[in-house]
Amino acid sequence: YQVKEIATKPYDGQKPGTSGLRKRVKVFQQEHYTENFVQAIFNSIKSEGATLVIGGDGRYFSPEAVHIILRIGSANGVAKFIIGKDGILSTPAASNIIRKYKADGGILLTASHNAGGPNNDFGIKYNVSNGGPAPESVTDKIYEATTTIKNYKVIEADPIDLSEIAETTYGPTKVSVIDSVTDYLVLMKEIFDFALIKEFLLNNSESFKVLFDGLHGVTGPYARAILVEALQLPESSIQNCVPLPDFGGGHPDPNLTYAHSLVKAVEEKNIKFGAASDGDGDRNMIYGKGAFVTPSDSVAIIADWAHVIPYFKKKGGVKGLARSMPTSKAIDLVAQKKGLEYFEVPTGWKFFGNLMDAGRLSICGEESFGTGSDHIREKDGIWAVVAWLNIIAAANKESPNELIGIKELLKKHYSVYGRSFFSRYDYEEVPSDGAQKIVDLLNNAINTSSLASTTHQSPSTKQHFTIASVSNFSYTDPIDGSVSKNQGQIVQFDDGSRVIFRLSGTGSAGATVRMYVERYVGPEADEKELDRDAAEGLKGLIEVALEITNLKKNLDREEPTVIT
């Protein structure tokens, strides 16, 4: 096979963000744009003789991208590609395939929860041999390579039929097209107590209805295999479970705003247990009738109940717990009570990988609807859903005289640990100079301590909040010592409340400012206080946060784009 060298020039801005390179499809469609980035990946890894996995959420432009990777990868000496049927593997399924078949890495074609279709987003992300997102040392190398690229290599062979499960070849490279779901289903059955869940669901089929919403993302076939086929729930327990290249025109993000189809059905049909996942299947939302679980609470509750999940028993118990910095501290309290080690890492799943590989971390989560464990090296939406079902089934077995659902578990948790009220305000696609003003203002407060010890009163609730300190989060990886600076600015109040400001690293246009707000109320508070709506519990603190940063004026926005 003849290897052709094609001349090219660098494109600006091919720097991978929090989770890979994400841009408009139109940007990826520019001449040589995708090819440049793919060649930059091969320039940064050992591609000669490598086995690599290709998967993704099946969004628009995926089949084209798969073939670009085949052409360039083959020319760069890749020995074997393992590809999900139709180019589809959920992000957690891809992580599992990389680990299970001992591949050297994988290329994931996804922009996660960002909208898809010809006028929306596409993304490419590189994962390393542990199955997790490439660490910054690798993504920096890839970026570096994109800035100096002069040519890329290709082999032109007959295209592969991605719809057929088969062992074939592309030029000199072996290609294995595999079923997207099989291996993942095997993994889930090893982790959870399917018999217990099945029995509980069967015995309570009237009083405990389940609804999963795939939002037309990649998880549909996975949810069907697990919920309908393995757990024998009725067909009506899944909706929007046919993956579509444009996600049906929707925004495949499982939160109260974008997963409205789930929220509506749960409320109308009195569904005890609802859940949704995002475009690439790594996020989840747990939502039952009148009971929304914040992701920060979700991971804390899973950690608290981990002993009922067979996987952790088999592994000799939970090793350690972790969360990303802006995630509420609910999980810290569980770790303290159980005497476990716990960690606070920067935003992005790549920061959990080293701790897991070192055997020091079992369960972790992010406030952005990401929950997972060391069964793979990505967050895992379906895993979280089945974990909740497993926990609920076990809780009901322990207390057979009442029906325990999401609401009851939350209440129980708050009565032991107290509650961390948490909310995130997103200001999407704001002008960069406005976002910069907020960053500068806080940096100035850090450098001059101008905000320290100042007290601020909320106009509406009259609560007082005194600032203890303002700082910039910097992380030193305990395993490899690598340092990640400027990971978000933290305004710490003396009552333990926190407000955090961060710029998003996953957007494809403009700047997105995120404001995270957390206020803790101890278990001794009366039930009414613990049971309050999060928006109410946080009202005063949010007013103070907006005032300190003069946010509305600086961003020229009266309201955030999304509140989660």
Q: 398: Cβ–Cβ under 8 A, 6 or more apart, which residues?
A: none
CA–CA distance, 128 with 20 (Å, rounded to integer): 13
**Sequence-ordered list of residues with C-beta below 8 angstroms from that of 452, at least 6 positions apart, any chain:** 467, 468, 469, 470
Residue 73 carries which side chain, given as an amino acid letter?
Answer: G
- At residue 90's C-alpha, the angle toward residues 364 and 39, to 5°, is 100
Rounded least distance, CB 299 to ligand VG1, Å: 12
Residue nearest to Co ion (CB): 112
Distance of alpha carbon 367 from alpha carbon 300, whole angstroms: 11
Residue 127 touching Co ion (CB under 5 A): no
Q: Indicate whether 121 belongs to the interface with Co ion (CB under 5 A).
A: no
Query: Which of the choices Co ion, ligand VG1, none does residue 366 contact, using the CB cut-off of 5 to 8 A by kind?
Result: ligand VG1
User: Angle between the 62-75 and 33-44 helix axes, to the nearest 10 degrees?
Assistant: 50
Rounded to an integer, what distance in angstroms lies between the CA atom of residue 532 and that of residue 241? 33
Q: Out of Co ion, ligand VG1, none, which partner does residue 217 contact, by CB within 5 to 8 A per kind? A: none
Identify which of residues 19 and 39 has a Cβ nearer to ligand VG1 in the complex.
Answer: 19
The one segment of 108-116, 382-390, 482-490, 523-531 that binds Co ion by CB under 5 A: 108-116
Candidate ranges 10-18, 23-31, 239-247, 275-283; the one touching Co ion (CB under 5 A): 275-283
Closer residue to ligand VG1 (CB): 39 or 284: 284
- How far is the CA of 317 from the CAs of 172, 308, 313, 397, 533, in angstroms? 46, 10, 5, 21, 34
Identified catalytic residue from 112, 277, 368, 423 = 112
- Diameter of the chain by CA atoms? 75
18 lies in the binding site for Co ion (CB under 5 A):
no
Q: From the list ligand VG1, Co ion, none, which binds 368 (C-beta under 5 to 8 Å, kind-based)?
A: ligand VG1
Which of 280, 332, 426, 543 binds Co ion (CB under 5 A)? It is 280
C-alpha dist (Å) from residue 516 to 288, 381, 491, 519? 24, 22, 10, 10
Between 294 and 506, name the residue whose CB sits nearer to Co ion.
506
Cβ-based nearer residue to ligand VG1, 121 or 193? 121
For the residues of 459-505, what is the DSSP string, one character each? TTT--EEEEEEEEE--EE-TTT--EE----EEEEETTS-EEEEEE-S
CB of 147 to ligand VG1, least distance (A): 22
Q: Is 332 in the site for Co ion (CB under 5 A)?
A: no
String marking each residue 57-96 x if it binds Co ion according to CB under 5 A: ----------------------------------------
Of residues 161-220, which lie at the interface with Co ion (CB under 5 A)? none
**Residue 272 or 514 having the CB closest to ligand VG1:** 514
Closest CA to 58 of 221, 175, 284, 212: 221
Q: Give the binding site for ligand VG1 (CB under 6 A).
A: 18-19, 112-113, 278, 282-283, 324, 347-349, 366, 368, 370, 504-506, 514
What, of ligand VG1, Co ion, none, does residue 209 touch, CB below 5 to 8 Å by kind? none
Which part of the chain contacts Co ion (CB under 5 A), choosing from 39-47, 177-185, 271-279, 515-523? 271-279
Instruction: Select 362 or 371, whichever has its Cβ closest to Co ion.
Output: 371
291 vs 227: CA distance, rounded Å: 21
Residue 282 sits in the site that holds Co ion (CB under 5 A): yes
Residue type, 545: A
Nearer to Co ion, 134 or 409 (CB): 134
Q: Please tell me whether residue 324 binds Co ion under the rule CB under 5 A.
A: no
Q: How many CA atoms lie within 13 A of 387 on its CB side?
A: 26
| Cβ proximity to ligand VG1, 324 vs 484, nearer residue | 324
- In the complex, what is the shortest distance from the CB of residue 537 to ligand VG1, in angstroms, rounded to a whole number? 22
Q: How far is the CB of 62 from Co ion (least distance, A)?
A: 15
Q: Shortest distance, CB of residue 123 to ligand VG1, whole angstroms? A: 8
Residue 362 site contact among Co ion, ligand VG1, none (CB < 5 to 8 Å, cut-off depends on kind)? none
> What are 456's strand-pairing partners?
465
Contact 453, 467 (CB under 8 A): yes
Measured from the CB of residue 243, what is the shortest distance to ligand VG1 in angstroms?
16
Q: Which of the listed partners (Co ion, ligand VG1, none) does 139 bind, with a CB threshold of 5 to 8 Å by partner kind?
A: none
* Residue placing its CB nearer to ligand VG1 in the complex, 324 or 328: 324
Token pair recorded at residue 563: 């509140």
278 forms part of the interface with Co ion (CB under 5 A): yes
Could you give the C-alpha distances from 480 to 45, 173, 198, 348, 484, in angstroms and in order?
A: 19, 34, 43, 17, 12
Closest C-alpha to 554, from 423, 426, 447, 440: 440
Rounded Cα distance, 258 and 287, in Å: 13
Q: How far is the CB of 364 from Co ion (least distance, A)?
A: 15
Half-sphere exposure of 334 (CA within 13 A, CB side): 29
Closest to Co ion by CB, 123 or 560: 123
On whether the CB atoms of residues 15 and 163 are closer than 8 A, the answer is no
Q: Which stretch binds Co ion (CB under 5 A): 104-112, 132-140, 311-319, 523-531?
A: 104-112
Task: State the nearest-atom distance from the C-beta of 503 to Co ion, in Å.
Answer: 19
Q: 323 contacts which partner out of ligand VG1, Co ion, none, CB within 5 to 8 A by kind? A: none
Nearest to 289, CA basis, from 148, 366, 403 = 403
Question: Exposure of 161 by Cβ count < 10 A (0-12 exposed, 13-18 middle, 19+ buried)?
Answer: exposed
Shortest CB 231 distance to ligand VG1, Å: 25
Rounded distance, CA 212 to CA 260, Å?
12
In the complex, what is the shortest distance from the CB of residue 108 to Co ion, in angstroms, rounded to a whole number? 10
Helix (H) or strand (E) holding 71: helix 62-75
- Contacting residue, 112, 180, 390, 564, with Co ion by CB under 5 A: 112
Catalytic site includes residue 112? yes
Active-site residues, by number, are 112
Contact positions toward Co ion, by CB under 5 A? 112, 278, 280, 282-283
